[in-house]
Structure 1
Amino acid sequence: MTAASPGGYSESVPARDTRTTTVARTETKPAFKTTELMVYVASVIAVLIASLVVGDGDSGVDRFPADRAWLYVTLLTIGYLLSRGLAKSGSREGGRDPRM
């Protein structure tokens, strides 16, 4: 037995879905579209050029040896990967490549 509401509608009618349709979007741009990639590449090139240009000191000792330059490149890479990871951590969508 169903009871009638004051408007004359049956109370056994299912509730209407009130959810709105939203468009799914990623929260971040792909890595190749960001300025942080450009800054990273420029920084790596600058470190390697600086290591090449800075020559021997007066005592014949290399003031910026290659091993130190590659250490700095490694640290830059770790920083870049951490920044991309933090940027993507709030992203809800999976990894779809927009170029395909």
Structure 2
Amino acid sequence: MSSATTGTSHRDTAIDVQPRRRSAETKAAFKTTEFIAYVVIVLGVLIASIVVDGNGNGDNGAAGDYFRADRAWFYIVLLTIGYLVSRGLAKSGSRDSSDA
């Protein structure tokens, strides 16, 4: 005697229950080494703009100041652009696990 098959197997009727990791972010921004390096370098630029002057005696005389505040803030803007680009590259390389 032959047994009739219904066309479904045990594999088709089993429910696949696997936990899925849903993450769209690589890592929190403040936990990355890029952020720590960014903050340290920005503080270094600000401290350097306060300390450095043109005559070498440490006072911030306006006549001898060759690392003015506008130049320091320009460097900070460049650092910020670099940090944002590096974060964008890091996020673009991550996969969204909800994309099956």
Decide: shared fold, TM above 0.5.
Answer: yes
Tell me which residue corresponds to 1:45: 43
Q: Give 3-state SS (helix, strand or coil) of 2:42's partner.
A: helix
Structure 2 CA distance for aligned equivalents of residues 80 and 51 of structure 1: 21
Q: What amino acid is the match of 1:88?
A: K
Do the aligned partners of residues 31 and 93 (structure 1) sit closer, same or farther apart at CA in structure 2, a change above 3 Å counting? Answer: farther
Runs (4+) off by over 6 Å: 17-20
Hey, which of these two has a bigger chunk of helix by percent? 2
Specify which structure has the bigger relative contact order, considering alpha-carbon pairs within 8 angstroms and separated by 6 or more residues: 2
Tell me which residue corresponds to 2:27: 29
1:80 Cα shift? Answer: 0.8
User: Normalised by the size of structure 1, how large is the TM-score?
Assistant: 0.67
What value does the CA root-mean-square deviation take over the aligned residues?
3.0
Structure 2 CA distance for aligned equivalents of residues 40 and 8 of structure 1: 70
Q: What amino acid is the match of 1:40?
A: Y
1:56 Cα shift? Answer: 2.3
In structure 2, stretches of 5+ residues that fail to align are: 57-62
1:18 Cα shift? Answer: 8.9
Tell me which residue corresponds to 1:65: 68
User: Normalised by the size of structure 2, how large is the TM-score?
Assistant: 0.67
Percent of aligned positions that are identical? 48
Deviations 1:50-92 (A, max 9, x none): 111111237x432211111000000011111111111112341
